Structure 1
Amino acid sequence: MRNLTPLTLKVLLDLQYLNVATTGIKTYMMELAKAARKYPHPEIEWIFTHEPEDQSADQTYKGNQSKIQKLNYHLDYFRWKEFQLPDLVKKYKPDVLICPDFVAPAASLPCRRLTVIHDAFFWQMPKNYPSWWRKYFVSLIKKGLKENTEIITTTEYSKQSLLNYLGSSWPITVVYQAPKGLKSASDPKFLDKYKLEKEGYFLHIGTFDRRKNLPLLVNAFAEFLSTTRSEKKLVLAGGPGQSRQMNDLPVVRNLVKELGLEEKVLLTGYVSDGEIKALYEGAFAYVFPSENEGFGIPILESMGFGVPVIHSDQPALLEVAGGAGLAFAGGNQSDLMEKMILLERENELKSNLIQAGRARSKDFSAQNFIQAFHQIILSSPTSP
C-alpha cells in the first residue's frame, strides 16, 4: 500500500449488494468501482469492501429462492449493514463511506456518508412492492440518514422527487452515471437463433417490471404492424419483474398469444453482455415506454451504438435523452405507434437522431462519472 499524504482521503465503497443486484443498480455499482480504479485521484485512496467481479458472481442468493432462503438473505443484509460494515469503518478509518444501494448503517459512524438513493419509487409507487417489505426497507433507508450524510441521486427529476418525500434535511446532489461498458465480443449467433435481420426489429432490454409499460409497447407494435404491413419484429429481452406485484411478464406473454404475435414478438429471457451487444448492433430502434424511471441507462447504451431511441415523455428520460430521442406522450398507445411509423418512414429523422444520440452519449462517460464523485469527496461537507 502506498504511503498516504496528509491530504489523502480514504474512501470506503460498500459493494456487498452486488451479490443480488440486477439491472440499473448493478451497473451503477460496477461502473463506479471500475471508474475509481481506471481514473485514480492523487488525493483519494479507494477501499472496496468486496472485489466487484467476485461479489457479482456470487450465486448464493440468486435465482428462485424459498421463503427461508429469502429470509436468510434479509438477515444477512441486515447483519452486513448494521454490524459488519461498521466494523470495517472501525478497521479502515475512512474519511468517507459510500453506500450505493439506498441504505447506510443506522449505527453512529465517525465519517461522512454518501448514500446513493437512485429514485423515489418506494414512495411514488407503493403498490408495486409487498407492503411489509417496503415498510421494512424504507425504515432501513431512513435510519441510515443520520449524522454527516449527503444523498447522491441520478437525475434532477429524482432529486425533486426525493425532496418531496424526504424533505430538505439532507443535501442532495445529482451525479450522472455512466452506462455499462460492454467489453464482451458481440454474439451474432444469437440473432441467427431468433432469425433477426439487421435493422429488422425494435428493441427493449430490461426486466418486465410493471412501470416499464411493456403491454403498451406490445399493443402499439400490433397497431404498427396492422397499419404498415411491416416485416419488423419486436424483441423484449430480460427477466421477470422483481416481485409478484411488479411482474408483467405473464401479462405480456398472454397478450402476445391473444394478438397472435408469437412469431413477431420475441421474449428472449436474460441475455449475456455479448448477446446484448449483438442486439444493439442489429436493432432498428430502441423503444422505452416506461412510466417512471430514475435514470434510464438503455437510452445511453442505445445512443452509443448508433441506435435511435423512442421514449416516453417521463421527466428522467427527457432529461437523460437531452432532446436526442423521439419522445411520445406517456401511456398513449396511438402516439407511440405513430412515432414508430414516423421513424420507419423518415430516413432523415432517423439519421439526425443517430447523430444527436452519439453526441449525447459522450456526456455520460465513466471519467465524468468518477470526477463528479471526486469533487464531492474532496469538497467540504454541506450543512443541511
Structure 2
Amino acid sequence: MKVLLDLQYLNVASTGIKTYMVELAKAARKYPHPEIEWIFTHEPDKQAEDQTYKDLTSKIQKLNYHLDYFRWKEFQLPDMVKKYKPDVLICPDFVSPAASLPCRRMTVIHDAFFWQMPENYPKWWRKYFLNLIKKGLKEDTTLITTTRYSKTSLLEHLGDSLPIEVIYQAPKGMTAALDQKFQGKLGLNIQDYFLHIGTFDKRKNLPLLVESYAAYLKKTQSPKKLVLAGGPGQSKQMNDFPVVQQLVDKLQLQDQVLLPGYLTDGQVKSLYNGAFAYIFPSQNEGFGIPILESMGFGVPVIHSDQPALLEVAHGAGLSFQTGNSEDLTEKMILLETENDLREQLIHLGKARSKDFSSKKFIEAFYELILKPAP
C-alpha cells in the first residue's frame, strides 16, 4: 500500500503543526511497516530549512506565499497523486485538494480555533482558509485530530458527515546537545525559575501569567524568576507580546521576567533541564506539547483546566481554573511550599510522558491506514 505524505507546509510551519509533521515523517522512517510504502512530497529537513517564505512582512510577500500554497494544494499535489498513484494521501495541515482524487484522504485538523476564536484572525484570511478546508472535505476522507476534546469541538462545527479519529501525537524529539552555558547567560540558577515556551498568542494567556507571578512574588518574597521563551503571536490580532512587555514594565519586573525570544533546541533543553516548574495558562489548546516535553524532563507542570490539557496531563499536572489569576498564584505557592507534592508530580509526569511516543504515534496511523473499508 502506498501512502503519500504532504510535507509542503514545513516551509513556513513554526509551531505545533511543524512538530507534528516532522515527528510523523521521522516515525514513518524509524518504524517502517512491511505493508506500507511511504512517499514524501518533500524531504522534511530540507523543506523545514527553506527560508523563501519565512518572516514575511509586506502584503505582497504574504500574497505570494498564499498563491504558492494554493498552487501546491490545487494543482501540484493532485499531479503528484496522478504520478505516484497512492492508496492514501495524508495532509497534516488542515487542507486537502478540492479536486477529485482516486485515493483515500486523511486530513489532520489539529483544533477548532478557526471556528471557536474568529476574533484572533484577519477576517478575509479566515474566510479564505476555511473555504480551502471545506472544499477538501470530500469523497473518502477521514479527519484526524489530536485529542478527544478537539474531536468534540470539530463535531460541533463540522458535523458528523465524515469520520473523525483521534491520534495522540509524539512530542518533539530534541536530539541537539544541551547548551550547558545558556542558563548562565540568562543569569539563571537550577530550579530557580518558572518556565513557559511558546508563541505569545492571545489564547496562551501570558499576561495573566505575569500578573499571577507578580502576586506570587509579593506573597512569598521568592527570588525565583519567570522565563517566557518564544516569539510574537502569528498575526497582529493574535499577538500579545507588546501587552506582556508593557505589563512587565508597569509592574517593574524587568529583572524578574526574562523574554529571550526564539531558542535553539539545545537552549530549550537547557531551560527544561533547570526549571522549577512549567506553567501553561492557555485558555484553549488542541493538544499541548510542552506538557509532555516538561514531564519528560522531570519538570512538574501547572496548567489551566482547559479540556485538552486535562486530557493530555491525565492527573499528572497541577491544574488551576482557566483565567483565574488568583488560583494560579495559589498553585505556584503550593508547589513551592509542598515539596512532597512536587516530587509526586515529577514521578507522575515521567510516567505519563511515556504514554506518548513516536512508535505509538505511527502505529496509530498504521492501524487507521490498514483498517478495512466499512
Normalising by structure 2, report the TM-score: 1.00
Match of residue 111 from structure 1: 103
CA shift at 1:188, angstroms?
2.2
Secondary structure at the counterpart of residue 37 of structure 2:
strand
- Mapped partners of 2:368, 2:117: distance in 1: 30
Secondary structure at the counterpart of residue 364 of structure 1:
coil
Q: 1:55 and 2:47 equivalent?
A: yes
Show structure 1 runs of 5+ residues with no match.
Answer: 1-8
Letter of the aligned partner of 2:209 in structure 1? L
Secondary structure at the counterpart of residue 47 of structure 1:
strand
Q: 1:154 and 2:161 equivalent?
A: no
How many residue pairs match? The answer is: 374
Match of residue 89 from structure 1: 81
1:210-266 deviations in whole A, cap 9, x for unaligned? Answer: 000000000000000000000000000000000000000000000000000000000
Match of residue 348 from structure 1: 340
- Mapped partners of 1:23, 1:306: distance in 2: 23
Match of 2:213 among 221, 224, 227: 221
Match of 1:368 among 360, 369, 372: 360
CA shift at 1:189, angstroms?
1.5
1:33-77 deviations in whole A, cap 9, x for unaligned? Answer: 000000000000000000000000000000142110100000000
- Mapped partners of 1:381, 1:165: distance in 2: 25
- Mapped partners of 1:235, 1:185: distance in 2: 21
- Mapped partners of 1:63, 1:162: distance in 2: 30
Q: Structure 1 residues 381 and 22, CA, compared in 2 at 3 Å: closer, same or farther?
A: farther
- Mapped partners of 1:247, 1:167: distance in 2: 31
Q: 1:20 and 2:19 equivalent?
A: no
Match of 2:183 among 182, 191, 196: 191
- Mapped partners of 2:278, 2:300: distance in 1: 6
- Mapped partners of 1:227, 1:33: distance in 2: 47
Match of residue 271 from structure 2: 279
Match of 2:134 among 142, 153, 166: 142
Match of residue 311 from structure 1: 303
CA shift at 1:380, angstroms?
2.0
Match of residue 4 from structure 1: none
In 1, are the aligned partners of 2:279 and 2:303 still within 8 Å (CA)?
A: yes
CA shift at 1:23, angstroms?
1.5
Identical counterparts, % of pairs: 74
Letter of the aligned partner of 1:267 in structure 2? L
Match of residue 321 from structure 1: 313
Normalising by structure 1, report the TM-score: 0.97
What RMSD, in angstroms, separates the aligned Cα atoms of the two structures?
0.5
Q: 1:76 and 2:68 equivalent?
A: yes
Letter of the aligned partner of 1:96 in structure 2? V
In 1, are the aligned partners of 2:56 and 2:62 still within 8 Å (CA)?
A: no
- Mapped partners of 1:246, 1:210: distance in 2: 5
Letter of the aligned partner of 1:143 in structure 2? K
- Mapped partners of 1:26, 1:308: distance in 2: 25
Which 4+ stretches in 1 moved above 3 angstroms?
A: none
- Mapped partners of 2:264, 2:46: distance in 1: 17
* Higher mean displacement: 171-180 or 64-73: 64-73
Secondary structure at the counterpart of residue 40 of structure 1:
coil
